[in-house]
Chains A and B, each alone.
Chain A
Amino acid sequence: MRAVVQTEKLSKYYGNVLGLSDVSVTIEPGVVGLLGPNGAGKSTFLKLITGQLKPSLGEVKVFGQPVWNNPHIFHQIGYCPEIDAFFPDLSGWQFLKEMLRLHHFPEEEARRRAEEVLKFLHLFGDKDRLIRSYSRGMRQRLKIAQAIAHEPQLIILDEPLNGLDPLGRRKVIRLIRRLGEKGQTVIVSSHVLPEIEAMTKRIILIHQGKIFAEGNIHYIRDLIDTHPHIISIKCDRVRELAAALVKEPEVIKIFFTPDPQEIQVETQQRDIFFDRLQQLILQLDLQVEAITSPDDNLQAVFDYLIGEK
């Protein structure tokens, strides 16, 4: 698959402050979540790949072309910044039209696109209202609208769910997934882990200006050998199952939970454990209600990686 964004030893320093350090990463089409706590370097990374900042070291290429000082590449990039960036004395429709005109669309086409994207983001009814009278959620959707109105191949959304109500969040999450399904590349940054998890399984974890991990969340989880996996099993006769499991060499610990039909097993060899578990379930003829991995989520991966657990 072709690389949409490629960075090579990318670093950015603000005087003595480290923004990003030695980041080499390749991003392919689809939705990619950029995760990290506040101040991790997510926005710096996004500003570097949108050509808003000049790298101190290294280089960024988007669609194989350098992004710094290359304005033509911006026909293919849509950027939604984290902070509000509007002209409050324009209406939403005027604002979008002007932004589209900067992409060299003829007047008529800019008008048509502005209307369509406003409909798409459920803002058409308020198109003639001044932006200053928009709610936070409306402004957030308008910001996303200006990033996708020119149909870019690469869409970069910096904390797009900030300020949205739960319904708005669901809509935007659905929108991002659809854009990914369409074949566009969407890079979404957030520090709210479940939000990213709802959009994509492909993540880049960033902390203290460095990339901690990248790839599929489950794959990353598997790589963390120092932290055992926890597997929760809900079935009838859990004590019988626990007695069988305790003899298995790959099992480290077994916990009984307040739920009398549930046990949690700690193992370092997940694949072998699952093979053995299947055999035991058949042997003991257990009625299994659920098998889950409570720590195989983004929060756990993130906490492990940044050393908070």
Chain B
Amino acid sequence: MTVREKGYTHWEGELKESRWVWFPLTRLGIKMAFQKRFFKLFYFSTFLPALIFLAGIYISERLEDFRFMLRGSPAFLKITPNYFKIYLSNSLFLFILVLVMIFVGGGLIADDLRFNALQLYFARPLRKIDYVIGKMATLSFFILLLSLVPGVLFILFKLLFAGNLVFLRHYPWLPLAVVGYSLVLTLFFAAYALALSALSRNNRYASLMIFGVYFISDIIFNIFYQNFHHPYLVLLSLKLNLQQVAAGLFGLSPPYAVPWSLSLGVLLGLVFLAFVILQKRIRSVEVVK
């Protein structure tokens, strides 16, 4: 009995070369993340801060109705770029992103290395760059859903609740700042998590590194800053660099007296380093030494 008699037949369709060759990888990554135990519960709970901030926007347009709750400090709910900066760069939000990276990013490359999947990928019409884009897009999906989507929705709801475009007339650059900072967050966290994931074949070690490097950088900053009080030490902390950049992009004074462009430079330098690591580590086969 030949192969064809068994029903394994030629397909008459035409294969179309796609520019989105990485998309199946992204889809698989997202699907596998949601297959993880507790991830759905965790991820949906991470939208809680966004809901609270959204409620704040609603209240800001109905201050008279909520005066009894505000106890005379309505300035708290003044919707300015600072409000967006606080949402997108507060320590809790950044910590949530680190947790998302641990859940989703830890095993993204480590598991492929562990299960020898790279040689299957690269025996297909897929380049290394497509592979990296596919993996980055997986992480970007989760980060942008937490940063860009709420940021844009805040602006839209602010306009909707106000019933006019005054807010946008005051801050016409704000949508760009939201998009820009969301992209910085996405690029940094995706590259950071992927690079650390590529450094180990064990996703637990990779997750530990994602968690550890982020917090250790902050601890080191604190130790040095307590002793030397030099503002440039802020460049040692990943979290503070992100907060400095957020302040810069939203047109505010950075928390430390250091140009925010330097922090952006540090973050971009780390992204570059991450790509160097990815370039070295993503190989389809083990190299005998």
Chain B residues positioned under 8 Å from A74 (CB to CB): 123-126
Q: How large is the interface on A (under 10, 10 to 19, 20 to 34, 35 or more residues)?
A: 35 or more
Whether the pair A77, B11 counts as a contact (CB closer than 8 A) is no
**Interface residue? A128 (CB, 8 A):** no
**Interface residue? B28 (CB, 8 A):** yes
Q: A53-B285, A89-B32 are in contact. Are A105 and B15 (CB under 8 A)?
A: yes
**Interface residue? B48 (CB, 8 A):** no
Whether the pair B288, A52 counts as a contact (CB closer than 8 A) is no
Most chain A CB within 10 A, of B10, B119, B120, is at B120
Instruction: Encode contact with B along A73-85: 1 for CB under 8 Å, 0 otherwise.
Output: 0110111010111
Q: Which parts of A100-150 form the interface with B (CB within 8 Å)?
A: 101-106, 109, 113, 116-117, 119-120, 146
Whether the pair B8, A104 counts as a contact (CB closer than 8 A) is no
**Interface residue? A17 (CB, 8 A):** yes
Most chain A CB within 10 A, of B16, B18, B123, B289, is at B123
Whether the pair B116, A104 counts as a contact (CB closer than 8 A) is no
Whether the pair A85, B15 counts as a contact (CB closer than 8 A) is no
Tell me which of A174-182, A229-237, A286-294 binds B.
A174-182
Whether the pair A109, B8 counts as a contact (CB closer than 8 A) is no
Q: A74-B124, A87-B111, A113-B11 are in contact. Are A178 and B116 (CB under 8 A)?
A: no
The A/B interface has a contact count, at CB < 8 Å, of 110
Whether the pair B3, A81 counts as a contact (CB closer than 8 A) is no
CA gap between A14 and B289 in the complex, in Å? 6
B172 CB, nearest partner CB in chain A, Å: 42
A258 CB, nearest partner CB in chain B, Å: 43
CA gap between A146 and B6 in the complex, in Å? 17
Instruction: Encode contact with A along B110-139: 1 for CB under 8 Å, 0 otherwise.
Output: 010001110111111111001000000000
Whether the pair A146, B126 counts as a contact (CB closer than 8 A) is no
Whether the pair A119, B121 counts as a contact (CB closer than 8 A) is no
Contact of A84 among B6, B10, B16, B115 (CB under 8 A): B115
Q: Which parts of B12-45 form the interface with A (CB within 8 Å)?
A: 13, 15-18, 21, 24-25, 27-28, 32, 35
Contact of B123 among A17, A19, A77, A117 (CB under 8 A): A77
**Interface residue? A47 (CB, 8 A):** yes
Q: A85-B116, A86-B117 are in contact. Are A103 and B125 (CB under 8 A)?
A: yes
The residue of chain B having its C-beta at the shortest distance from the C-beta of A182 within the complex is B3
Whether the pair B119, A85 counts as a contact (CB closer than 8 A) is yes
Whether the pair A109, B6 counts as a contact (CB closer than 8 A) is no
Whether the pair A52, B287 counts as a contact (CB closer than 8 A) is no
CA gap between A90 and B3 in the complex, in Å? 27
Whether the pair A14, B11 counts as a contact (CB closer than 8 A) is no
With A51-B123, A52-B122 given, name 17 new contacts (CB 8 A). A15-B288, A19-B288, A51-B122, A52-B123, A71-B124, A77-B123, A81-B116, A81-B120, A87-B111, A88-B115, A102-B21, A102-B124, A104-B16, A104-B17, A106-B13, A179-B3, A182-B3
* Chain B residues within 8 Å of A, Cβ to Cβ: 2-4, 6-11, 13, 15-18, 21, 24-25, 27-28, 32, 35, 111, 115-117, 119-127, 130, 284-285, 287-289
